Amino acid sequence: MPEPRSAPRWIPILAIASLLALASLFAGPERVLRVARGVISEYGARDLPGAALLSLWRMGAAYIASLAFAWVVGYAAATRPRAARIILPLLDVGQSVPVLGFFPAALALFVGLLGGSPFALELASIFLIFTSQVWNLAFGVYEGLSTIPAETRAAADSLGVRGVLRWRTLEIPACMISLVYNSILSWSNGWYFLIACEIIVAGRAQHDLLGLGSVLSQALARGDTLVALAALGTLVAIVVTMELVVWRPLRAWSERFTYDTARRDDEAPGDLPRLPDFGLPSVLRPMRSLWRALTSRLPLAEANRTATSIGQGLGRVWRITRWPLAVALVLTSLGSVWSLVLSLLPPWPREAAEIPLALFLSFLRINAAYVLALAWIVPVALWVSDHPRMLRPLTLVAQVGASLPATAFFPVLVALLVHRIGGMEIISILLALTGMQWYLLFNLLAGVQRVPQDLRESLRSLGLPRREIHRRLVLPACMPSLVTGSVVAWGGTWNALILSEYVVFRQRTYEVVGVGALLNRATFETADRTLLLLSVAALVITVVTFNRVVWKRVYDHVCTRYRLEVS
Amino acid sequence: MLELRGVDKVFTDRKRVVPALAQIDLAVPERQFLCIVGPSGSGKSTLLRIMMGLTPPSGGQVLYQGQPLSGVNLRSAMVFQSFALLPWLTVQSNVELGLLARNMTPEAAGRRAAFYLDKVGLGGYEEAYPRELSGGMKQRAGLARALAVEPDLLLMDEPFAGLDALTSANLREEVLSLWADHALPVDTVVMVTHIIEEAVLMADRVVVLSAHPGRVVADLPVTLERPRSKRDEGFDELVDSIFERIV
């Protein structure tokens, strides 16, 4: 979530530079080629159960790593203003850097450290999924911790609540709602990119890890519809099962962590059809009693004291080591920048000339998708504002829609539409739309929900027609959520664009002129490091610049102008 | 018991320095019920937070039992205007929180919490969540939480401001009887309020702050006999004289 923040301007620039530098350091195609020598196994229908398990394991491992990372980083940002000035812009950049840009770097890093074993490839894949899950979780922790009311924080302080007790009773519960919400988003995001993350491409060599994503994309590339459908079915089944067994009960459970003590009458539970919450409670109950039994045996007070002293010790170590660390960091980044400059030196490949045009076309495509998304989402949100009973069902639609990995359907869409009107050009816009619309809908529905009932009633009692109420109350009140959703959706769509400008189906490649296609070609076809770096750089710079120059201003303006005073 | 010597507090808001409190000299003797009144912007709540050790003063000294205060004073406890109960814990767990932080065993903490919940009239509501309680009951829970740590000094930040008139009158009486009950450890209270009548009804002594920045402009003893009522002789005169000093 964008926050009003005053960060040094050089931080995003430094971050981009060092990311690119890292990529260039490790992305030597020759070196990677040696490691993974074109290992493509053919996966068929009988691999599906194993593939499902492996994909689930990868997603789970990446998610746990994301949670740990998000907690540490978000905690640091929320508790230390000085750290926040550095961390928040970094997270922002991380969120807008396309996952695909990390691929060669991640692979070479893990392979370089651990050798070309399956273990290293597995880790690389998990890391890639991690990069698609972690950012919004970290923002979620930050948001949860920094929205603890000042008096609640003061109350915990005045009671002397510290250490583990403070985590357990104040800080983790305070993050619970935004953590659950963002976990759902992260998993959707992970599934969305899973397809790309299980195909490890190293220069001209490719290594497909067994998993749902690789089975699916291989089957589609071969034209094996049956296997593709089976894989797709498995994927959808897993997503739906997780929604029912994990997320829905978790969401219901997390509602107890709201500060809002006054209950709104129209939100009374039970007046809407609900799917049964099976699964999780019966799993959780024994775990809870186990936890109780453990905590009553454990010397909690001592653990608390130890943790506090460890924290203090770490703080001391950090104070001593931060300057050497900073020097080392600066030296490394200087070295990286040097190697970056070296690898960016001309002669540039011929395709490099395409980059400005490709970038421009991609930019147009994104905005087209954005306008299309708004064109159906804003009327829907306004309609929902008049029919509050539809809010829950529609939120459910948005949730399910967001958690189905649209990437899996890309080839199908291509097959259906490619020879119709508009061809690939229209398709890529539609595909980009799939990555964008749910998030916008999500946020706008949340905004509609927050329109105060008494304001609406006062306008109604003044005799304003529905259309005027929309224009004067609902739309302005939704503005902050709309802009928040737009920033994230717009940034995220660059990621989706990379997958949607270049689709392989039945051994044919369909592509349009765009920076996403360029990136893909550099990764999958030519293994051209310079081209890859140039296009990633162009992409990231565009996204970050646009975010800082346009969205941030719009956001600040909207927030000061349209904020509803909450007493 | 608590002494403030030349306490200053400034806040920096976007590189603008805003003084909140200036040169506060104040001593709180034992067994006193002290009320701090003042207009909004006089830094009353800030002063209370400095007494609690939640915020350090920008200048001057805070002495507790003759010792300079560093960090949160665990011998005192605080009651907040917004109740500040953790919504995800039951009333009982909320009250136990401060006891667990003082390394009390769960059994002992449970017993102590139940005792104080009973004292404030919340017996039977142990397993309720704050959202299920009315405003008055939430503040009773907040009071029980503060009393349960058996503080020597109780600090209250506009504790009745979020409640309706009838509830706050009831709760006022109750606070006074808890304070007068010598079986309970709390016998020194500092309360911040913006209602002068409330201060005169409850306090032994009223300190009046001015606004922007907060300075002590009056320090008056209240010698009316307890129990007091708004119809007591001299009540209105005292309220009026305090009111004049604020305006």
Determine the 3-state secondary structure of A428 from DSSP.
helix
Q: What is the DSSP string of A522-534?
A: IIIII--HHHHHH
Q: What is the DSSP string of A121-184?
A: HHHHHHHHHHHHHHHHHHHHHHHHHHTS-HHHHHHHHHTT--HHHHIIIIIHHHHHHHHHHHHH
Cα separation of B197 and B205, whole Å? 13
Q: Residue type at A64?
A: I
The answer, for A301 touching chain B at a CB cutoff of 8 Å, is yes
Cα separation of B247 and B242, whole Å? 9
ipTM of the complex: 0.84
Residue B90 structure tokens: 């039951």
The pLDDT score that the predictor gives to residue B140 is 93
Residue of B98, B178, B82, B169 lying closest to B130 (CA atoms): B82
The answer, for B72 touching chain A at a CB cutoff of 8 Å, is yes
The pLDDT score that the predictor gives to residue A267 is 38
Q: Taking CA atoms, what residue in B is nearest to A255?
A: B88
Place of tokens 């349960």: B148
Name residues 180-199 of chain B within 8 A of A (Cβ).
none
Q: What's the rounded mean pLDDT across residues B86-101?
A: 90
Dihedral in degrees, nearest 10, Cα atoms A30, A34, A38, A41: -140
Cβ pairs bridging A and B (under 8 Å): 71
Three-class SS string for chain B? CEEEEEEEEEEEECCEEEEEEEEEEEEECCCCEEEEECCCCCCHHHHHHHHHCCCCCCEEEEEECCEECCCCCCCEEEECCCCCCCCCCCHHHHHHHHHHHCCCCHHHHHHHHHHHHHHCCCCCCCCCCHHHCCHHHHHHHHHHHHHHCCCCEEEEECCCCCCCHHHHHHHHHHHHHHHHCCCCCCCEEEEEECCHHHHHHHCCEEEEECCCCECEEEEEECCCCCCCCCCCCCHHHHHHHHHHHHC
Determine the 3-state secondary structure of A502 from DSSP.
strand
The answer, for A297 touching chain B at a CB cutoff of 8 Å, is no
Q: How far is CA A190 from CA A60, A559, B135, in A?
A: 10, 31, 44
Cα separation of A170 and A145, whole Å? 9
Contact predicate A140/A70, CB 8 Å: yes
Q: Do A261 and B130 touch (CB under 8 A)?
A: yes
Pick the residue of B131, B134, B147 with the most A CBs within 10 A to test the interface with A by mutation: B131
Residue A41, phi-psi category: left (phi > 0), alpha (psi -120 to 50), beta (remainder):
beta
Contact predicate B224/B54, CB 8 Å: no
Q: Taking CA atoms, what residue in A is nearest to B53?
A: A158
Q: Using a CB-CB distance cutoff of 8 angstroms, which residues of chain A are in contact with residue B139?
A: none
Contact predicate A481/A446, CB 8 Å: yes
Residue of B77, B53, B52, B39 lying closest to B194 (CA atoms): B39
Nearest Cα of chain A lies from the Cα of B241 at a distance, in angstroms, of 33
Q: Using a CB-CB distance cutoff of 8 angstroms, which residues of chain B are in contact with residue A154?
A: 49, 54, 78, 80, 84
Higher pLDDT, A252 or B208: B208
Quick one: chain A helix, strand, coil %, rounded to 5? 80, 5, 15
Of A160, A162, A173, the CB nearest to B88: A173
Residue of B31, B118, B104 lying closest to B74 (CA atoms): B104
The pLDDT score that the predictor gives to residue A13 is 66
Of B81, B82, B97, the CB nearest to A169: B97
Q: Taking CA atoms, what residue in A is nearest to B81?
A: A151
User: At residue B224, what are phi and psi to the nearest 5 degrees?
Assistant: -60, 145
Residue of A490, A364, A479, A403 lying closest to A95 (CA atoms): A490
User: At residue B185, what are phi and psi to the nearest 5 degrees?
Assistant: -70, -30
Cα separation of A464 and A495, whole Å? 43
Residue of B75, B79, B63 lying closest to B28 (CA atoms): B63
Q: Do A158 and B77 touch (CB under 8 A)?
A: yes
Name residues 160-199 of chain A within 8 A of B (Cβ).
160-162, 165, 169-170, 173, 176
Q: Do A154 and B81 touch (CB under 8 A)?
A: no
Using 50 as the pLDDT threshold, list the residues of chain A that sit under it: 1-6, 26-39, 203-204, 261-279, 566-567
* Cβ-count burial A517-548 (b if 16+ within 10 Å, e if not): bbbbbbbbeebbbbbbbbbbbbbbebbbebbe
Q: Which residues contact A327 (CB under 8 A, 6 or more apart)?
A: none
Cα separation of A139 and A66, whole Å? 12
Name residues 438-457 of chain A within 8 A of B (Cβ).
none
The answer, for A61 touching chain B at a CB cutoff of 8 Å, is no
Cα separation of B25 and B60, whole Å? 9
User: At residue A42, what are phi and psi to the nearest 5 degrees?
Assistant: -85, 125
- Tell me: the pLDDT tens digits for B1-30? 899 999 999 988 777 888 899 999 999 999
- Tell me: the pLDDT tens digits for A368-383? 989 999 999 999 988 8
Q: Using a CB-CB distance cutoff of 8 angstroms, which residues of chain A are in contact with residue B88?
A: 173, 176, 256-257
Residue A207 structure tokens: 């290594």
Nearest Cα of chain A lies from the Cα of B188 at a distance, in angstroms, of 17
* Nearest-10 crossing angle of helices A529-546, A355-386: 40
Q: Do A154 and B129 touch (CB under 8 A)?
A: no
Q: Using a CB-CB distance cutoff of 8 angstroms, which residues of chain B are in contact with residue A167?
A: none
Place of tokens 């990069």: A131
The answer, for B108 touching chain A at a CB cutoff of 8 Å, is no
Pick the residue of B13, B97, B133 with the most A CBs within 10 A to test the interface with A by mutation: B97
Q: Taking CA atoms, what residue in A is nearest to B132?
A: A261
Q: Do A154 and B87 touch (CB under 8 A)?
A: no
The pLDDT score that the predictor gives to residue A103 is 67
Q: Do B84 and A301 touch (CB under 8 A)?
A: no
User: At residue B118, what are phi and psi to the nearest 5 degrees?
Assistant: -65, -40
A37, with CB counted inside 10 A (0-12, 13-18, 19+), is exposed
* Cβ-count burial A253-285 (b if 16+ within 10 Å, e if not): ebeebebebeeeeeeeeeeeeeeeeeebeeeee
Is the peptide bond prior to B130 cis by the omega test (within 30 degrees of 0)? no
Name residues 214-233 of chain A within 8 A of B (Cβ).
none
The pLDDT score that the predictor gives to residue A391 is 78
Residue A533 structure tokens: 């770096």
Q: Using a CB-CB distance cutoff of 8 angstroms, which residues of chain A are in contact with residue B84?
A: 149, 151-152, 154-155
- Tell me: the pLDDT tens digits for B148-181? 999 999 999 999 988 888 999 999 999 998 998 8
Name residues 304-333 of chain A within 8 A of B (Cβ).
304
| The pTM of the whole model exceeds 0.80 | no
Pick the residue of B13, B81, B103 with the most A CBs within 10 A to test the interface with A by mutation: B103
Residue of A453, A449, A447 lying closest to A483 (CA atoms): A447
Q: Using a CB-CB distance cutoff of 8 angstroms, which residues of chain A are in contact with residue B49?
A: 154
Q: Which residues contact A140 (CB under 8 A, 6 or more apart)?
A: A70, A74, A175, A178, A179, A181, A182
Q: Using a CB-CB distance cutoff of 8 angstroms, which residues of chain A are in contact with residue B85?
A: 155
Contact predicate A559/A2, CB 8 Å: no
The answer, for A259 touching chain B at a CB cutoff of 8 Å, is yes
Dihedral in degrees, nearest 10, Cα atoms A461, A462, A467, A468: -140
The answer, for A156 touching chain B at a CB cutoff of 8 Å, is yes
